[in-house]
Amino acid sequence: MAVQGEIIDKTAAMIAAPVPAADWLVIAPVLLPILAGAVLLMIRHSVRWHAVLSVAVLAVLVGANGLLLRRVLAEGPVSMTMGSWLPPFGISFTVDALGAVFSLTASIVAVCCCVSSVRDVDATGRRYGFYPFLLLMMAGVSGAFLTGDVFNLYVWFEVFLISSFGLLILGSEKSQIDGATKYAILNLVGTTLFLIATGYLYGTFGTLNMADLATKAGQIGDAAPLMTLASLFLLAFAMKAAAFPVNFWLPASYHTPPAITGALFGGLLTKVGIYALLRILVMIFAVEGVALAGVIGWVAVATMLLGALGALAQSDIRRIAGFLVISGVGTMLAGIALGGNGGLSGAIFYALHSMPALSALYLLGGLVRQRGGSFSLHQLSGLYGASPFLTLLAFIISLAVAGLPPGSGLWPKVMLVRAALDSGAWQIAAAILLSGFLATIALGRVFILAFWRTEIAGVQAVAGGSMSIMGCCAVVILTLAMLAMGVMPEPFVRVSGTAASGLLDASSYVRAVFPGGGGS
C-alpha cells in the first residue's frame, strides 16, 4: 500500500490541506489526560508523584480548554478529523461553544477535586490507581464533550464509565461493592441501549458523523423511523443522566465512595448524559426532539419533584446530595423540554452552575465529616461553634444549590421559569419553583441540625478532627466560582445563549466539518 502510494489518487478520501498546529487544541483536552494517566499507571509505585502530576496536568487542561473556548467563541466551531480521512469517513472531533464550555467547566471542577484529594487519598488508594482513573475519566468526559461522531461518543461514554467503576470500588468497603454492582449493571444496560440506537442510526443513515446526521435528518422526512430512534436515544441518555424513572442507580451508589469521588461523579457524569441529549435530540433530531418535548417535560417535572422529595427523606448528607443531583437533572431536562433559545440556554447555564455546585456540596460533606466525625444528621451538631468558616461555606453553597441569591443557581432558574411561562408550560414553571423550595427545606434542615443545634439529647457526641487545608481550598475556589456566576451572570448567560443558538442552527457546526458544503 505504501509502496505503490503514488499511483493511487487519494484526494477523494484523504485530507490534503495541512493542519495548523493550533487545531491540535481540539484534541489536547483528551490527549493530555490519556498520556498523563498512562504515565501514572507506569509509575504506580511512586505514589508521591501522582498527586503533583495530576494537579499539574489538570491545570494545563483547564488552560487548553480555556484557549479552545476563546477560539470557538471568536471563530465558530473547530473540527479535526482523525487519520486524515475525509469526514464522514474519519472520526471527527468537532468543538462548538457548547462542547468547549462544558469541557472547560468540567476541567475546573476536576482540578478542584484533585487539589482537595492531595491529602485525603492515602497511599493505598493511590497505589490502586485513584489518580490514573481520575485522569482517564477526565479523558472520557472531555472526549464525550468534544467528539463529533456518535459511535465515538459511545466509546468515550464507556471510557469514563469504566474509569468511574475503578474509582467507585476504590477501598472495597461492603457498601461500595454493593453500590458499584448496581451502578455498573444499570449503566452498562444504559450504554447498551445507546449502542442499539447507534446501530439503528447507522442502518438508517449510513453515517455516524454528527454534522452529516444533522444535515440528513432534516431531509429524510418520513422515510425512516426517526421517532423510534429519538426515543431510544432519549431512554439511553435519560438513564445515563439519572432521570425519573430510570434514576435508581444514582442514590444507590454515589454516597458509597469517598467524598471526592462523589464530588467528581455528582458534578460531572450526569451532565454528560444531559450534554448528549442536547446534542442528539436538539441538534440532530430537531423535529423529533420538539415532538418529544411533552414527554421530556413530564419526565423533568417528575425528576425534579422526586429528587427534591428524596432529599427531604434522607439523613445522610451524601444521600441528600445524591437526590439533589437528580433534582438538578430534572431542571436541565425542563430546559430541553421547553426548547427555543430561552429554554436551552437556561439548561446550559444550569449545567454550568450545577457542575461546581454539586461537586462543592459533596466536598462540603467530606469536610463536615472531617470536622464533625459523621455524615449522619442524627449525629452531627454544633458545627457553627466549632468552625464558623465551614458554616459560611455551607451557607453559600446551600443557597447556590437551592437556587437562591447570591448563589449561581438563581439565574438559570429565572431563565427557565421565564421560558416556561412564555411558552405556557405552567407545570414546568411550578415544578422548578416547588423543587427549589423543597431543596431549600432539605438543605435548611441540614444547616439547622448540623450547624446550629448545639447538642443532641441522649446521643454520644462524635469526636471530630481538623479539616484538610487542601480540601478547604478546593471548596473555597468552587464557592467563589459560584458567587461569580451569581453576581455577574452576564458572560455566562451570553456563552449559554451562543451555545444554544449553535444547537438550534447547526449550519456553522456542519460548515466546520464540511468546509466545501454538503455532506457525504
Q: Which of residues 304-333 bind another protein (CB under 8 A)?
A: 313-316
Q: Contact between 9 and another protein (CB under 8 A)?
A: yes
Which conformational region is residue 517 in: left (phi greater than 0), alpha (psi within -120 to 50 degrees), or beta? left
- Nearest alpha carbon to residue 434 among 363, 330, 340, 511: 330
Stretch that binds another protein, among 117-125, 180-188, 329-337, 488-496 (CB under 8 A): 180-188
Task: Select the residue interacting with another protein from 72, 78, 170, 184 (CB under 8 A).
Answer: 184
Q: Contact between 120 and another protein (CB under 8 A)?
A: no
Give the total of residues touching another protein (CB under 8 A): 77
Instruction: Please give the residues from 185 up to 214 whose contact with another protein meets the rule CB under 8 A.
Output: 185, 188-189, 192, 195-196, 198-200, 202-203
Q: Contact between 46 and another protein (CB under 8 A)?
A: no
- Would you give the binding string for another protein spanning residues 265-304, x where CB under 8 A is met? ----------------------------------------
HSE value, Cβ hemisphere, 13 Å, CA-based, for 358: 34
Residue carrying C-alpha cell 425542563: 334
Stretch that binds another protein, among 60-68, 74-82, 278-286, 343-351 (CB under 8 A): 74-82
Q: Return the exposure string of 124-141: e unless at least 16 CB atoms fall within 10 Å of the residue's CB, then b.
A: ebbebbbbbbbbbbbbbb
Residue 287 identity: V
Q: Contact between 518 and another protein (CB under 8 A)?
A: no
Task: Select the residue interacting with another protein from 71, 240, 255, 371 (CB under 8 A).
Answer: 255
What's the rounded Cα separation, in Å, for the pair 488 and 491?
7
Q: Contact between 520 and another protein (CB under 8 A)?
A: no
Task: Select the residue interacting with another protein from 49, 59, 63, 158 (CB under 8 A).
Answer: 158
Q: Which three cell numbers stand for residue 40?
A: 501514572
Q: Which three cell numbers stand for residue 98?
A: 457548547
Residue 149 DSSP code: B
Identify which of residues 169 and 226 has a Cβ nearer to another protein in the complex.
169
Taking the complex as a whole, how short is the minimal distance between the CB of residue 220 and another protein, in angstroms? 16
Q: Contact between 182 and another protein (CB under 8 A)?
A: yes
Q: Which residues pair with 147 in a beta bridge?
A: 93
Identify which of residues 379 and 468 has a Cβ nearer to another protein in the complex.
379
- Distances 437 to 318, 347, 426, 431 between C-alpha atoms, Å: 20, 19, 16, 10
HSE value, Cβ hemisphere, 13 Å, CA-based, for 360: 31
- Would you give the binding string for another protein spanning residues 454-493, x where CB under 8 A is met? ----------------------------------------
Residue 259 identity: A
Preceding amide of 245 cis, omega within 30: yes
Stretch that binds another protein, among 27-35, 213-221, 259-267, 494-502 (CB under 8 A): 27-35
Contact 107, 138 (CB under 8 A): yes
Identify which of residues 257 and 486 has a Cβ nearer to another protein in the complex.
257
Q: Contact between 38 and another protein (CB under 8 A)?
A: yes
Q: Contact between 8 and another protein (CB under 8 A)?
A: yes
Contact 360, 399 (CB under 8 A): no
Instruction: Please give the residues from 353 up to 392 whose contact with another protein meets the rule CB under 8 A.
Output: 377-378
Q: Which three cell numbers stand for residue 517?
A: 458544503
Q: Contact between 447 and another protein (CB under 8 A)?
A: no
Stretch that binds another protein, among 21-29, 283-291, 357-365, 512-520 (CB under 8 A): 21-29
Collapsing DSSP states into helix, strand and coil, what is residue 505? Answer: coil
The contacts of residue 365 (CB under 8 Å, 6+ apart) are 259, 262, 317, 318, 321, 375
Identify which of residues 232 and 417 has a Cβ nearer to another protein in the complex.
232
Task: Select the residue interacting with another protein from 46, 48, 70, 178 (CB under 8 A).
Answer: 178
Taking the complex as a whole, how short is the minimal distance between the CB of residue 445 and another protein, in angstroms? 7
